[in-house]
Amino acid sequence: MAQVTKSMTSGPIWKHMTLFALPLMFGNLFQQLYNTVDSLIVGNFLGSSALAAVSSSSSLISMLIGLVGGVSVGAGVVVARFFGARDEENLRRTIHTTVAFGIAAGVLMTAVGVLLSPQILEWMGTPESVMPESIVYLRIYFSGSFGFVMYNIFVGILRAVGDSRHPLYYLIVSSIINLVLDIVFIEVLHTGVGGAALATVISQVFSAGLCFVQMVRTKESYRLWIREIKFDREILVQIIRVGLPSGVQNSIIAFANVVVQSYINTFGEMAMAGYGAYSKIEGFGFLPINSFTMAITTFVSQNLGAKEYERTRKGSRFGILVTIILAELVGAFVFVLAPYLIAAFDATPEVVQYGVEKTRTAAPFYFLLAYSYSIASVLRGSGKSMIPMAVMIAFWCVVRVVFLAVSIPLTGSIQMVYMVYPITWALSSIVFFFYYKRTNKENQSAHI
């Protein structure tokens, strides 16, 4: 078997990061296709009400998977650190502890998601007209969330050791399965939104299975031995120390987005459908940005493990610059083509209007979002997860929720919901800028 792990601790920085980010970008593209294909097929075959039901579930899904996703990022940082240091014993301990954590989290998430879906949708103010379909979609989705959790755990490990190719291959296969099953369940078998959720569940479980087979059959240092899957207390503490702040941050920000969704819900089904269509477009638009921020985290972690501090700083600067440039290019593209992109999901004029307004309010400011994500990725890669957690919770959660709580009753305008994102991106970027500048100035040996 050809070697697929890759050390980033020597050689051209731009080449390592770019070649690592490209498979990530394509992999994230197919990951995004999961829910987007659901929305496209649901919107075109089942109508605006069904699209609104799927869209209303997205924020809740993000909230409940945010904690696990954040901890898996923390695990990836620890894995990358040991991989960069060529410490195979601790690398092995970390991998098996991470998988044990994923199994426990997957079981817990399934139970919580299935049991609490109706109550949480009610708290979100989901309209009665879409409540039954929203519950069906969400419960089926969470019944298979174990596959989603394990896939992300496995992929986090693979990426941390520099393998961004296998996750891409597996996502291509599972995305094709998802597309075929969506059409079969919805158009042929007429199963409604439940069929869309079931197609996603099956494809997620399949991709997790492929990752599992890869990890138990490989001969490389990240091999998974089933009998060794257990919690190592010392390693678990490291993973939680780095990953828990990211997980808490993801969950709380996602909760804030659930609150935002609840305000969108008050403007009716058309607004929900238009806003949901924009969310899918933003997800695609930010694929190259997310890919480079993942590359930044892996690069920083591996090079700190190898004690290559100057190389770490150079790579961080390169990653930040590229991410900002990509964000503005994406923003310009999305801004110009907004009417056509929204209409691809639902051509209803009112839905398109809502979606275009949201798109053209946010797209010019993507560079701010990219900058915040880039600095946060550098900090996480260096094990400093508390700083991005504090900044993002303060602005992307507290300020966001307070702003809407005050502005919506006063104005009754959905524009306030659209504006709150660029405003909070700007605030977090300002704080990150001064923190990053001060840290480098005060301590030239700092790991960022």
Q: Over the chain, what HEC string results?
A: CCCCCCCCCCCCHHHHHHHHHHHHHHHHHHHHHHHHHHHHHHHHHHCHHHHHHHHHHHHHHHHHHHHHHHHHHHHHHHHHHHHHCCCHHHHHHHHHHHHHHHHHHHHHHHHHHHHHHHHHHHHCCCCCCCHHHHHHHHHHHHHCHHHHHHHHHHHHHHHHCCCCHHHHHHHHHHHHHHHHHHHHHHHHCCCCHHHHHHHHHHHHHHHHHHHHHHHHHCCCCCCCCHHHCCCCHHHHHHHHHHHHHHHHHHHHHHHHHHHHHHHHHCCCHHHHHHHHHHHHHHHHHCHHHHHHHHHHHHHHHHHHHCCCHHHHHHHHHHHHHHHHHHHHHHHHHHHHHHHHHHHHHCCCHHHHHHHHHHHHHHHHHHHHHHHHHHHHHHHHHCCCCHHHHHHHHHHHHHHHHHHHHHHHHHHCCCHHHHHHHHHHHHHHHHHHHHHHHHHHHHCCCCCC
Q: How far is CA 232 from the centre of its chain?
A: 27
Tokens of 369: 């979002």
How many folded domains does the chain comprise?
Answer: 1
Cα–Cα distance for residue pair 64/112, rounded to 1 Å: 9
Task: For residue range 380-401, list pLDDT tens digits in order.
Answer: 888 787 888 889 889 988 999 8
Tokens of 349: 């004029």
Cα–Cα distance for residue pair 278/296, rounded to 1 Å: 27
Cβ neighbours, 10 Å, residue 217: 10
Tokens of 126: 């989901």
What mean pLDDT value characterizes the chain? 81
Residue 446 pLDDT exceeds 50: no
End-to-end CA distance of the chain: 36
Task: For residue range 138-174, list pLDDT tens digits in order.
Answer: 788 888 888 888 988 898 888 888 777 787 788 888 8
Q: Among the listed ranges 7-21, 35-49, 65-79, 386-400, which one has the minimum average pLDDT value?
A: 35-49
> Is 447 part of a structural domain of the chain?
no
Burial of 324 (0-12, 13-18, 19+ CB in 10 A): buried
Tokens of 13: 């920085």
pLDDT at 2: 43
| Residue among 310, 302, 307 at smallest CA distance from 444 | 310
Do 259 and 278 form a contact (C-beta atoms < 8 A)?
Answer: no
> Is 356 part of a structural domain of the chain?
yes
> Is 2 part of a structural domain of the chain?
no
Residue-range definition of the domain harbouring residue 210: 13-442
The pLDDT of 272-282, averaged and rounded, is 83
The pLDDT of 50-61, averaged and rounded, is 62
Instruction: Quickly state the pLDDT bin for 70 (edges 50, 70, 90).
Output: confident
Instruction: Quickly state the pLDDT bin for 324 (edges 50, 70, 90).
Output: very high
Do 153 and 75 form a contact (C-beta atoms < 8 A)?
Answer: yes
Q: How many residues does the chain have?
A: 448
> Is 62 part of a structural domain of the chain?
yes
Read off the pTM. Answer: 0.69
The pLDDT of 269-293, averaged and rounded, is 81
> Is 406 part of a structural domain of the chain?
yes
> Is 373 part of a structural domain of the chain?
yes
Cα radius of gyration rounded to whole Å, the chain: 21
